[in-house]
Each structure stands twice: as C-alpha cells, then as structure tokens.
Amino acid sequence: MDETLKDISVLVVDDDVDTCDLLQTILEESGAEVIVAHSVEAAIAAHRRRPAHVLVSDIRLGASDGFALIAAIRDYNKEYRGVTPAIALTGYSSPGDEERAKCAGFNEYIRKPFDPSEVTNTIAVLLKRGTDAVA
C-alpha cells in the first residue's frame, strides 16, 4: 500500500456514486481516510462534525453546486480559524472555469477524466504548501 496520504482525511463530494467510489479506492490505497458526501448539505454536515484535511469536490452537485459548498467551507474556516485546502474536480472545461473555481475559493482545479496520481499528488502538494506556510 502506498502511504503518500497516511493519516490524512479527505472529504470527497460528488453526486455521482461511481466517481465517489473510484476516488475512495484511489485515496484509501494511498493511506487516506475518506469521507464521502453526495450533496452540498451532506458535505457541510460532515465537515462540521469533523473537518477533513482536504476537500475534493465536483462543481455540479444536483440542485446546488461546488461554489455554494466552498463558500460554506470558507465561512466555517473563518469562524474557526482553520484552513481546508480544496480541489475542484470537474468536467467543466470551458475557458474561465478554472479561474472561476479558484476565485470562489478552490486551491486547485483538476478536469475529469482525471489521472489517479494527479489527484493524490495534488493533495500531497497542497498539504506540503500548508505545512511550509506554518513553519
């Protein structure tokens, strides 16, 4: 087992069950603990119960979207002075989508279909950046 993400919790949010299952397998094989949510409401509730180290979220989430989710996560971060690195993992690929996601509060943007190693490597880099910023 790869232990790149050992002792890291990742909140995966996607309304597509297959995508969640795939991400859960990939991340658990890298040592992460994975919390899965299929809606903005479920993700916010999960994050408030136990904030994850990293958020990986789709943008299209049924009746709501990842922009509403990242806004709620960032508000929660301000309230509790925490920082949750966030990755938008999405099928959106038109010009300006990445910029819009980053302006909304996502730190990174990965397009679907994705390479599993890109997801785990991006999480590792985000966490290292956070550690370096604190040190």
Going along the chain from its start, the domains and CATH numbers come out as 9-134 (3.40.50.2300)
Residue (of 1, 6, 18) closest to 113 by Cα position:
18
Indicate yes or no: pTM above 0.75: yes
For 24-44, the pLDDT digits (tens) are 999 999 999 999 999 999 999
For 58-117, the pLDDT digits (tens) are 999 988 899 999 999 999 888 877 889 999 999 887 889 999 999 999 999 999 999 999
DSSP codes, 7-34? T-EEEEE-S-HHHHHHHHHHHHHTT-EE
